[in-house]
Amino acid sequence: MLSRPWKKKGAPSEKGPATAELFPQGMKVLYQPLKADVDIVFVHGLTGDRERTWTKNGTCWPQSLLPGEIPTARVMTYGYDAYFLRRHGPVLSHRIRDHALDLLNALAASRAKGEAEQRPIIFVVHSLGGIVCKDALVVANRGPEQYLHMIFESTHGIVFMATPHSGSALADMARLPMQVFGLVRSVNSDLVSVLETQSEVLERIQSDFLALVRSRATLGSPFNIICFYESLPMSKMGIIVPKDSAILPGYHCGSIRADHRDIVRYETTEDPGFVDVVSVLQRWVNSNAGQLYVLREAKGRFLRFLAFPGIEARRVAIGNPAQDTCSWIFGTRFIKTGRLANDSIARMASCG
């Protein structure tokens, strides 16, 4: 949490000459089973790190502890430069949407390389990482690229860890060092402003994501969602993300007896926070993630069988339909004679 940016061993200190600080970026596989049936993807928050965020006393629990509990999951962690200021060197000018696109591209590349495009995905996201994840899924659903849309379709669940869905004290905490040091040229104010309680960007992402969740539920393929919130204050800082901001109304939530930083750091399998989070992951994986994988693989085979050269060009070349085209399907006479049951219609819609 608000810690010093990661540096390569031997790099100059902050008191030394100005230099661009290195940062572990992109997708890293922490555990690869012989045959995976689900991808669990970890995304850190503001000033976080793809491994240190999840590490306590040398134990990176997604790598050391999680595989023993869910051995059929491929475990990955994503790193992105979410630092809003530095004393030396440039600060990345990325906004939330930029980070969301980078996450999608990195995840798509990793899944294509492992021939796992149809595999279910479960996200475990901390703080700002939850906002990035939500925006990434909105982009994946709306975009024309099929390989990105597949990420949206494959998402099986999201574990939000102290995510400021409606803003938090992180914005005020970030502005204090900005004012003290006066680092005008080394500040990413856009990244900080998103965390304000009245942020239009935050409201837009929340609204778009909830609409997306409702849409998936209507099609019979709802997201699994749970929100964990911190119950202990950080020293001299208090509660960073209050409960009312960390939860999503209508979805299951729970507290973890830890502050904003330690809510995602566990040292042993007996840690209560680890038990709470892993029990959720196990339940989701054991419920219908495997069945979902089989169905999506079958759908992929059907689509590849029906494909032909120039299919995308043909779709673009199709003209607008004539007025009332196919309206007869919804007529009373057709429904009576065709005897289409409601459950059959629902199955047809969900296959789309």
82-112 confidence digits (pLDDT tens): 776 555 555 555 788 999 999 999 999 999 9
Please count the structural domains in the chain.
1
Average pLDDT (133-160) is: 93
Sign of torsion, CA 262 268 269 272?
A: negative
Using an 8 Å Cβ cutoff, are 201 and 208 in contact?
no
Nearest to 186 by CA among 194, 177, 195: 177
Using the predicted structure, report yes or no on whether residue 6 has a pLDDT greater than 90: no
pLDDT band at residue 15, thresholds of 50, 70 and 90? very low
What is the per-residue pLDDT across 247-273, written as a single tens digit (0 to 9) for each? 998 999 999 999 999 999 999 999 999
Q: Is residue 36 part of a domain?
A: yes
Q: Is residue 336 part of a domain?
A: no
What residues pair up with 161 in beta bridges, in sequence order? 126, 228
Q: What is the pTM of this model?
A: 0.74
Average pLDDT (158-183) is: 69
Q: Is residue 74 part of a domain?
A: yes
Q: Is residue 226 part of a domain?
A: yes
Average pLDDT (129-150) is: 92
Using the predicted structure, report yes or no on whether residue 147 has a pLDDT greater than 90: no
Q: Is residue 317 part of a domain?
A: no
Using the predicted structure, report yes or no on whether residue 120 has a pLDDT greater than 90: yes
Instruction: Give the Cα separation of 174 and 138 in Å (integer).
Output: 27
CATH number of the domain within which 121 lies: 3.40.50.1820
pLDDT band at residue 33, thresholds of 50, 70 and 90? very high
| The dihedral formed by the CA atoms of 173, 174, 178 and 180, expressed in degrees to the nearest 10 | 20
pLDDT of residue 189: 56
pLDDT of residue 171: 59
Instruction: Give the Cα separation of 340 and 347 in Å (integer).
Output: 11
pLDDT band at residue 197, thresholds of 50, 70 and 90? low
Helices 128-142 and 200-218: crossing angle in degrees, nearest 10, is: 60
For residue 115, give both structure tokens: 């021939």
Q: Is residue 145 part of a domain?
A: yes
Q: Is residue 121 part of a domain?
A: yes
Residue 193: φ, ψ to 5°: -65, -25
Longest dimension (CA), the chain: 81
pLDDT of residue 221: 83
Residue 331 has a CB neighbour count (10 Å cut-off) of 10
Instruction: Give the Cα separation of 138 and 204 in Å (integer).
Output: 11
Q: Is residue 343 part of a domain?
A: no
Domain, as residue range, for 257: 26-300
Using an 8 Å Cβ cutoff, are 149 and 141 in contact?
yes
pLDDT band at residue 116, thresholds of 50, 70 and 90? confident
Instruction: Give the Cα separation of 147 and 153 in Å (integer).
Output: 10
Residues of the chain above pLDDT 70, percent: 65
pLDDT of residue 218: 86
pLDDT of residue 225: 97
Helix or strand holding residue 206 (H, E): helix 200-218
Average pLDDT (205-231) is: 92
pLDDT of residue 143: 80
